[in-house]
């Protein structure tokens, strides 16, 4: 992957954003194929292996950056090398065992073992979550537990180290490569995309978004597309004139 000062990156969520409409997906990559100095990456709640296989299934051209497990891991193509710097950066005040033990009071439903990662503890919740979220916040504070709590699609609840999220991972990349966030375009549909959409990059919310993102409306840097899935991404690219506009913004 060659990065220079004019490089632009499109980082997209996978489920319900990039995939879902095969025809639009084809159109999107047809458009991106002609762009110079552009890299494509994904940012997903999935594990790396699961991200790789669903992208193969949908015949998505190989991304160069994989932000996975809700931003707690970063890998780079072609050899899927892990970013150890990121791991080091987020590994601060992270006590997953004590966190899980403490959360037992809340009778949350644990996600399957495969969804639990070194830097991600995940549960299933329901729509009532917002009602008891303040209590949960308070309880974690009382117990001196630091974590980034992320609610998605009305049913997933992830706990990550305070410094980890899809959005913080995107900012880390911008910083690492010395690129302004305005050279990043991100796209998503649900709660775990929120920090990425408000990170300072250009953001696209696809039409089929989940209610948690409603609060991002009326924000100049965030475009709510009329099209769903990849169609919405295509539309957002045009809205921001992301592939053609001069870099002098
Ligand atoms: C993916 C992950 C799951 C996570 C969810 C929301 O579905 O598999 O563990 O809770 O994304 O981030
Ligand atoms: Mg999604």
3-state secondary structure 132-200: HHHHHHHHHHHCCCCCEEEEECCCEEEEECCCCCHHHHHHHHHHHHCCCHHHEEEEECCHHHHHHHCCC
Residue 118 CB partners (closer than 8 Å, separation 6+): 72, 96
Inter-residue contact 20 to 228 (CB < 8 Å): yes
**What pLDDT is attached to residue 249?**
42
pTM reported for the whole predicted model: 0.97
Query: How is residue 9 written in tokens?
Result: 């990156």
Task: Please tell me the distance from the alpha carbon of residue 99 to that of residue 7, in angstroms, as a whole number.
Answer: 40
Task: Please tell me the distance from the alpha carbon of residue 66 to that of residue 51, in angstroms, as a whole number.
Answer: 8
**What pLDDT is attached to residue 245?**
66
**What pLDDT is attached to residue 107?**
80
Query: How is residue 152 written in tokens?
Result: 């998605």
Q: How far, in whole angstroms, is CA 11 from its chain's centroid?
A: 8
Which pLDDT tens digits describe the chain residue by residue (249 residues)?
899 999 999 999 999 999 999 999 999 999 999 899 999 999 999 999 999 999 999 999 999 999 999 999 999 999 999 999 999 999 999 999 999 999 999 889 999 999 999 999 999 999 999 999 999 999 999 999 999 999 999 999 999 999 999 999 999 999 999 999 999 999 999 999 999 999 999 999 999 999 999 999 999 999 999 999 999 999 999 999 999 865 544
Atom 5 of ligand 1, residue of closest alpha carbon? 45
Atom 12 of ligand 1, residue of closest alpha carbon? 45
Residues framing ligand 1 (Cβ under 6 A): 45-46, 70, 111, 115, 122, 152, 156, 158, 192
Q: Give, for ligand 1, the residue of 71, 72, 122 to mutate: max count of ligand atoms closer than 8 Å to Cβ.
A: 122
**What pLDDT is attached to residue 1?**
87
Which ligand 1 atom lies nearest to the CA of residue 156?
10
Task: Please tell me the distance from the alpha carbon of residue 30 to that of residue 85, in angstroms, as a whole number.
Answer: 34
């Amino acid at each position: 992957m060659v990065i220079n000062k004019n490089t632009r990156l499109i980082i997209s969520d996978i489920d319900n954003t990039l995939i879902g409409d095969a025809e639009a997906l084809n159109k999107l990559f047809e458009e991106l194929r002609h762009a110079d100095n552009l890299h494509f990456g994904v940012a997903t709640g999935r594990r790396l292996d699961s991200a790789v296989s669903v992208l193969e299934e949908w015949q998505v051209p190989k991304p160069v950056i994989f932000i996975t497990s809700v931003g707690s891991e970063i890998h780079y193509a072609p050899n899927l090398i892990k970013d150890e710097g990121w791991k080091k950066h987020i590994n601060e005040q992270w006590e997953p065992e004590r966190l899980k033990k403490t959360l037992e009071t809340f009778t949350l439903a644990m996600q399957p073992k495969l969804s639990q990662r070194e830097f991600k503890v995940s549960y299933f919740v329901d729509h009532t979550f917002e009602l008891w979220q303040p209590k949960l916040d308070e309880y974690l504070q009382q117990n001196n537990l630091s974590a980034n709590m992320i609610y998605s699609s009305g049913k997933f609840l992830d706990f990550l180290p305070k410094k980890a999220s899809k959005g913080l991972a995107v900012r880390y990349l911008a910083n690492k490569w010395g690129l302004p966030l305005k050279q990043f375009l991100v796209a998503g549909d649900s709660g775990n995309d929120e920090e990425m959409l408000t990170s300072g990059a250009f953001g696209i919310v696809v039409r089929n978004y989940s209610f948690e993102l409603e609060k991002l409306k009326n924000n100049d840097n965030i475009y709510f597309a009329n099209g769903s899935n990849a169609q919405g991404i295509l539309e957002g690219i045009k809205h921001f004139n992301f592939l053609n506009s001069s870099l002098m913004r």
